[in-house]
Amino acid sequence: MKRNVVLYTTALMGLLLFAFDGRTQEVKTKEQLLRISLACDSLNRVEEYGKAQALARQTLAVIPSGDNTNLSLFNFYIGVGYQGVLSDSAIFYYQRSLTYAHLAENSKRISNALLELMYLYNYTDGYTTERDKTAAALNRMIDTTSSVSLKKACYIKLADYYRVIGWREQELNYRLQSLGLMKTEMQQGLYKDGDADSVNIGVAYFNIGDLYETMDHYTKAQEFYRQARPLLWNYKAGICAYYKGMATSYLKMGNTVSARQYEDSLENMVAHHYKIADGWSTLISTYLSNAEYYLDRENAAAAMPYLVMAEKLIGTKVQDAIETGSFNYTMGRALSVQKNYVKALPYLIRAEAVRQGFSADLYAKVLRALAACYEGLGKWQEADLYYAKYLPLRDSLDARAAQQSMANAEARFQNKEKVKEIEAQKAQISFARQQRLWLVAGIVALVLLAGLLLLFYRNKKRNADLLVRLNSALEEANRTKAKLFGIISHDLRSPMNQVYQFLRLQQLNPGALDENQKAALSSKIQNATGSLLETMEDLLLWSKTQMNAFEAQLQPVNIAAVVMDCQRLLQLNSEARKIVFETGIPEDLTVQTDANYLQTIVRNLLQNAIKAAPGGSLIQIEAKQENGRTWLLVKNQGAAFTQEQYERLIRQEQHAASLSGLGLKLVDELSRKIHATVSFHYDGTYTRACLEF
């Protein structure tokens, strides 16, 4: 509870800052609304609906008028707060949420609002037109969506809709469709044994069994009840419902012994073992179902013991208005069957008072029972009044049943017509197959002859194509070899010459250098040798890229470390020209790339910059990262070098023996392999090389 209070307080403080902060940048607004929506979700998950609703109301006042997505979302939160308390208010806010969702063209918000409205329309009077329109919208959603979870939700809500309007066959179809999707997911391993998803499948099996029982298919009902039981695990309310289903179905099959056994199991589980509240509702439902069974057979005496047991639960163990209303109707009906209309009337009047929770079919039965009761009392005016209420409702239900029957009949007729069409098509296919056999037999000889000629031609063409491919491969190998030798002549000459000069100097003037100078010279020779080794590795890397034999290995790479390594390798070159590096790279800046490729690219860019920059000048190296993109910049004050010159150089097949041409060709090829882009810009003072990831 303390955590919920802190969560609510934090969200409220964020809302106040949002309302009074002068900075109204769009990104800041979206982030604040997202945090508040997460707070509302958390409050709703712990059933703090009032706090979530209050927070949503305050947020609505500061949402920009054009932000239809968030207007839809926070109207939805307000509707959640009213659901189960004030249905009309919940419907009002869900409708507003749906309107804004359509304006935002947000499919998720549209589907969420429609699903909640469908539930409320099913059980709230006065929304028949809206209910039917919403059902049509959900049916269209089933046909268009690819989301399995959304299809399941639509099937479940629509199954409840068809139950309310009395279309049992359509309800059964939708419940089976929903179960089919659940079973597919379970076979794919998306559900775990014993978790809530498994229990949901068990509940789906039970609901289908309950529907079969309502349609008087008792054996089929028990088949689904039994399949539901192992999936319910230790879900106590589900197990109670299982006992109830088996008990009532056995009674309707005439097996009173088995029915009594399951009743005993249910009573024992509810009263003596688990002490669960849901069990009392299931138990009274069992009593009322058994009483209805006997009343349908005009056996009020057999029904009364069940009603007496049910009445003991009313007001003590069971206080739900709908369950109480169902008991009052059944008791009133039983007393009416016994001609005790005086006692029956108060029960029936109390049953009518909870009409909002009744299905249309049950409410019609209550009206008819009241009319018959008043008729039995000789109160003809009141009887006529209730008959006037009952008959239009009954006509409406009959019309819906007729529509469903016509739809089923039309479907069966269409199936028969399709069967006939399929049979006719099979006959046509068989005749056509025979004709094809004769035709094939007639042209087999021609095909064999043509096949021999084709085989000869293909062999000849295959050999010619092979020769062309081999020539192309040879030509490409020669081009690669020429490039390789060109690079060797260029990239190895400079470091080899430097090493040679240092060694020559040491040989010619061995006594001219003191120990410190010799140590410094040895260090420089070592660096030059390292540069030579790196260059040879570059040549190997480049040759592999030309043969498509090497793939980049992408991983997080620290840019500052790579640049520092390259500076050390080129220290001899930069010191020779008295060039200083100025580096401005965050130490923790990383990029997803290949470290070896990146080092080769950076080294070549720095070599270009050292060669192009005036002696004694500054080379600036910078890097930055914004919005998921990273840039590495190398700037020098040398001669202008533009993007156009760069693109012209890398398009040339053969290059002059210059560092910029060959080095930039390697930079271009390697950068493309790590999905980076190289560009050059000149602003009148600096030439800037930019490597963008």
Q: Each residue of 550-600: pLDDT tens digit? A: 567 788 888 888 888 888 877 777 887 888 888 888 888 888 888 888 888
Helix (H) or strand (E) holding 107: helix 107-122
**Percent of the chain at pLDDT above 90?**
33
Torsion of CA 377, 379, 382, 388, to 10 degrees: 90
pLDDT at 108: 93
Measured in whole angstroms, the distance separating CA 53 from the mean position of its chain's CA atoms is 26
Q: What are phi and psi of 555, to 5 degrees?
A: -160, 165
Instruction: Check residues 174 and 475 and name the one with the higher pLDDT.
Output: 174
Class (C level, CATH) for 146-233: mainly alpha
pLDDT classification of 236: cutoffs 50, 70, 90: confident
289-295: Cβ within 8 A, 24+ apart: 289/244, 289/248, 290/247, 290/248, 290/251, 290/259, 290/263, 291/330, 291/334, 292/330, 293/248, 293/251, 293/252, 295/330, 295/333, 295/334, 295/337
pLDDT at 481: 67
Question: Which distant-in-sequence residues (6+ apart) come within 8 Å of 12 by Cβ?
Answer: 55, 58
Measured in whole angstroms, the distance separating CA 454 from the mean position of its chain's CA atoms is 53
Query: Per-residue pLDDT for 391 more than 50?
Result: yes
Q: What are phi and psi of 127, to 5 degrees?
A: -125, 35
Q: How far apart are CA 102 and CA 75, in angstroms?
A: 13
Nearest of 630, 632, 616 to residue 566 by alpha carbon: 632
Q: How many residues does the chain have?
A: 693
Query: Per-residue pLDDT for 12 more than 90?
Result: no
SS3 639: coil
Q: Which CATH number fits domain 551-692: 3.30.565.10, 3.30.70.1400, 2.60.40.10, 2.130.10.10?
A: 3.30.565.10
Nearest of 299, 370, 288 to residue 331 by alpha carbon: 288
Cα distances (angstroms) measured from residue 71 to each of 11, 32, 208: 17, 14, 38
Q: Each residue of 415-472: pLDDT tens digit? A: 556 556 667 777 777 777 787 788 888 788 788 888 888 888 888 888 888 888 888 8
pLDDT at 655: 44
Query: Per-residue pLDDT for 533 more than 60?
Result: yes
Query: Per-residue pLDDT for 151 more than 80?
Result: yes
Where are the domain boundaries for CATH 3.30.565.10 in the chain?
A: 551-692
Q: Each residue of 609-629: pLDDT tens digit? A: 888 888 888 888 888 888 888
Question: How many Å is the Cα radius of gyration of the chain?
Answer: 42
Mean pLDDT over the full length of the chain: 82
CB 270 within 8 A of CB 235: no
Q: Each residue of 172-212: pLDDT tens digit? A: 999 999 999 988 887 777 766 556 677 888 899 999 999 99
Query: Per-residue pLDDT for 225 more than 80?
Result: yes
Where are the domain boundaries for CATH 1.25.40.10 in the chain?
A: 146-233
Q: How far apart are CA 145 and CA 475, in angstroms?
A: 54
